[in-house]
Amino acid sequence: GQQVMQIPQYQHVQEGEDFTTYCNSSTTLSNIQWYKQRPGGHPVFLIQLVKSGEVKKQKRLTFQFGEAKKNSSLHITATQTTDVGTYFCAALFFNKFYFGSGTKLNVKP
Amino acid sequence: GAVVSQHPSWVICKSGTSVKIECRSLDFQATTMFWYRQFPKQSLMLMATSNEGSKATYEQGVEKDKFLINHASLTLSTLTVTSAHPEDSSFYICSASHGASGANVLTFGAGSRLTVL
């Protein structure tokens, strides 16, 4: 299947520190989406990026789509314990959604 | 907002039996639903695309005779794990795509945790 690489696999931060996860594809993407999965839960849609170089913000979360539309990042400023979970990027290939490997974020209070 | 209901949320079965998992879109019609499998601490692996009124499309390496998918209506897709074995134990999640707010967004069911003894 199509591959979307995501790093890092795990990230442990102290509450208040920043966090970033990166997603890369070898092919140009029409769009990229980000999802969050809390422990024991199911993925929940966060945002979709469509335009080259697009930057979107949701409170402390900043999402960016690369100029070449092959990579994307999610940055969380001043993490809180409520940010704990696994963050996935997802890309649409031939009308199917393929997910990155995910980055598990643990926030120590 | 769009809601997808999936059940059962967990099921334990004996090896050799079959298990059916249902996925329903509650407030929208879903011509396409996606079935994912998630192993512990791993990502979501797309198993198949369920198409209303036609055969499902399976990803490479997924046995279509083992994982039977039926999408009989615009609001219901089912996944049947046939002759289940311990290696089929996993977290199965369905999702449906909808175009609310202009984006082609996936809404997930709560998932079904299957344990095969």
Q: What is the pLDDT of residues B70-86, one digit of tens each?
A: 998 889 999 999 999 99
Q: B36's torsion region: left (phi>0), alpha (psi -120 to 50) or beta?
A: beta
Tell me the pLDDT band of A2, cut-offs 50, 70 and 90: low
Residue type for A7, please?
Answer: I
The whole-angstrom distance between A15's CA and the closest CA on chain B is 22
Distance from CA of A107 to the nearest CA of B (A): 17
- What pLDDT does residue B51 have? 87
Q: Do the beta carbons of residue B25 and residue B2 sit within 8 Å?
A: yes
pLDDT value of residue B117: 96
B86 touches chain A (CB under 8 A): no
CB A73 within 8 A of CB A22: yes
Residues 6+ apart with CB under 8 A from B110: A41, A42, B5, B6, B9
Q: Give the pLDDT band of residue B100 (cuts 50, 70, 90).
A: low
Q: Residues near B19 by Cβ (< 8 Å), separated by ≥ 6? A: B11, B13, B80, B81, B84, B114
Beta bridge partners of A97: A92
Residues of chain B with pLDDT > 90, as a percent, come to: 72
Indicate the residue of A48, A88, A101 with minimum beta-carbon distance to B105. Answer: A48
Other beta carbons within 10 Å of B9: 11
pLDDT tier at B103, thresholds 50, 70, 90: low
Tell whether B83 is within 8 A of chain A (Cβ): no
**Average pLDDT taken over every residue of chain B:** 91
Buried b / exposed e along A14-45 (16+ C-beta atoms within 10 A): eeeeebebbbbbeeebebbbbbbbeeeebbeb
pLDDT digits (tens, 9 = 90+) for B41-75: 889 999 999 988 888 999 999 999 999 999 988 89
pLDDT at A94: 82
Cβ-based neighbour number of residue A5 at 10 Å: 13
Q: Is A34 strand, coil or helix? A: strand
Confidence of residue A1 (pLDDT cuts 50, 70, 90): low
CB < 8 Å to B50, chain A: none
Interchain CB distance below 8 Å, B34 and A100: no
Q: Which residue intervals of chain B are DSSP H helices?
A: none
CA distance, residue A104 to nearest chain B CA (Å): 9
Task: DSSP letter for B2, please.
Answer: -
B59 and A CB contact within 8 Å: yes
Give per-residue pLDDT as tens, A60-98: 999 999 999 999 999 999 999 999 999 999 998 888 889
What is each CA distance from A55 to A49, A64, A98, A109, B40, in whole angstroms? Answer: 8, 4, 22, 29, 32
Asked if pLDDT for residue B28 goes beyond 80, the answer is yes
**Residues 6 or more apart in contact with residue B102 via CB below 8 angstroms:** none
How does pLDDT run across B11-26, given as a tens digit for each residue?
Answer: 999 999 999 999 999 9
Residue B54 has a pLDDT of: 86
Between the alpha carbon of residue A35 and those of residues B20, B28, B99, the distances in Å are 27, 21, 16
- Over residues A7-52, the pLDDT tens digits come to 999 999 999 999 999 999 999 999 999 999 999 899 999 999 999 9
Question: Which residue of A2, A5, A34, A42 is the best one to mutate when testing the B interface, meaning the one whose CB has the most B CBs within 10 A?
Answer: A42
Of A88, A92, A98, the CB nearest to B104: A92
